[in-house]
Amino acid sequence: MFRISRFQEVLKHLPRGVFDRAVRSEQADKYRKNFSCWQQLVSMVYAQLSGASSLRTLQSSFNAHSAHHYHLGCQPIRRTTLADANAQGNTRVFSSVVHALMQQVRGRVRGEAHEFLELIDSTSITLKGRGFDAWTSENRTRHTQGLKLHVVFGLAEEAPLAHSISAPNLNDLDYARTLEPRRGTIYVFDKAYCDYTWWWKMTQSGAKFVTRFKRNSRLQVHAQRAIPRDAVDIILKDEQVYLSNKNPGGGRTNPYSKVLRRIEVARKDKPALVLATNDLKSSALRIAERYKARWQIELFFKWIKQHLKIKRFLGRTPNAVRIQILTALIAYLLVRLHAQAHGIKTSLWLWLSELSATLFQRPEIELRRHRHWRKQRLMQDLYQQPLFT
């Protein structure tokens, strides 16, 4: 009886219906003869999971497992064909897969989590040199030349829940303003997202936020809140304040009319951290812990840059780079879903390491062989005469 490989088990989490509808809607398979969008997706996910460093090594390693191609719905790949597909492919098809996988991750955890904490941040992806300068130099900033990846990271889900890829000169706030805040969700972000109109939008929608005040924020203290004994050495101040600056500048107006909390958190050998939140019920210590959890999105960015392929690219065109970033997100979400489905308790890095080394193993066959060997060994031990009596 046929048994699927571990790679096929991982791919089972792909929303094939969503993918096929996106391909038909975008006519992404038009003018493609023997290399469909599905094969492109499978090849690029394999490149991410196997750690292929070039098109040549990807072609060689993938084609070495020809016995599995039929069951994957694929054929042997050619590096020139894959390079052309990445350079000319439709990125919206891959974006739709990323979005569908993010919804799967969100749905698995939403019924279990007690607090919905979502972290917002961005990371830069440097693209310099031959092939990159032609399209990245115009939008470069003083610090970055390349692209910027914006992410909303779910703390309970331990996975991204929304994303966008932009030029590095796009302000982080421009992406944040496109998000629709969810009632009952707590958003955590740094002071780069300081915009009173956006804060007001979240408050009106029933969401809460934790961030930092800027130094030049003009505040009017309304009331002082008592600091519990267990937080005396950590929380320096807990105040209810109003924003007194109604015209922040640049033609903007400040619509935020409700009370906010200003919390000063002590830091060792550093100035106190001044937090801003619209949560008037939670303890100051709990709010400080929520802001501390913002470090998890930085660890996520570090993880995907270290363990997936978004620093060295298989193509140098805008499409090829974006498709590789999207397939890195797809690979991360697939590994996360696979680990959840199989109750994997080890770290995601260790699980990815094991997975990349056994992509084309068939676990059920390996288990059956092990059981057969163990049965034979037991029978042998039972009937074999002992050497010494």
The residues spanned by each domain of the chain are: 6-92+309-357
Phi-psi region of 343 (alpha: psi -120 to 50; beta: other; left: phi over 0): left
The pLDDT value given to residue 389: 52
8-28: average pLDDT:
93
The pLDDT value given to residue 110: 62
pLDDT band at 376 (very low <50, low <70, confident <90, very high): low
267-283: average pLDDT:
93
The pLDDT value given to residue 143: 86
Pairwise CA distance, residues 306 & 320, whole Å: 20
The pLDDT tens digits of the residues spanning 22-54 come to: 999 999 998 887 899 999 999 999 999 999 999
Of 56, 36, 52, give the one whose Cα is nearest residue 44. Answer: 52
Please state the length of the chain.
389
- Please indicate whether residue 216 or residue 159 has the higher confidence score (pLDDT): 159
pLDDT band at 1 (very low <50, low <70, confident <90, very high): very low
172-181: average pLDDT:
94
- Please indicate whether residue 259 or residue 114 has the higher confidence score (pLDDT): 259
pTM: 0.89
pLDDT band at 186 (very low <50, low <70, confident <90, very high): very high
Side-by-side strand order, sheet with 116-126: 159-166, 146-154, 116-126, 185-188, 208-212, 270-277, 260-267, 235-243, 219-224
Whether the per-residue pLDDT at 123 is higher than 70: the answer is yes
276-294: average pLDDT:
95
pLDDT band at 360 (very low <50, low <70, confident <90, very high): confident
316-342: average pLDDT:
94
Least confident range from 158-167, 236-245, 341-350, 366-375: namely 366-375
Q: How far is C-alpha 364 from the geometric centre of its chain's CA atoms?
A: 30
Whether the per-residue pLDDT at 228 is higher than 80: the answer is yes
pLDDT band at 370 (very low <50, low <70, confident <90, very high): very low
Q: Specify the residue for token string 């919905």.
A: 116
What are the contacts of 32-36 at 24+ separation with CB within 8 A? 32/85, 34/75, 34/81, 35/75, 35/77, 35/81, 35/82, 35/85
Whether the per-residue pLDDT at 21 is higher than 50: the answer is yes
For residue 264, what is the DSSP state? Answer: E
The pLDDT tens digits of the residues spanning 50-108 come to: 999 999 999 999 999 888 888 888 999 999 999 999 999 889 999 999 999 999 998 77
Whether the per-residue pLDDT at 373 is higher than 60: the answer is no
The pLDDT value given to residue 295: 95
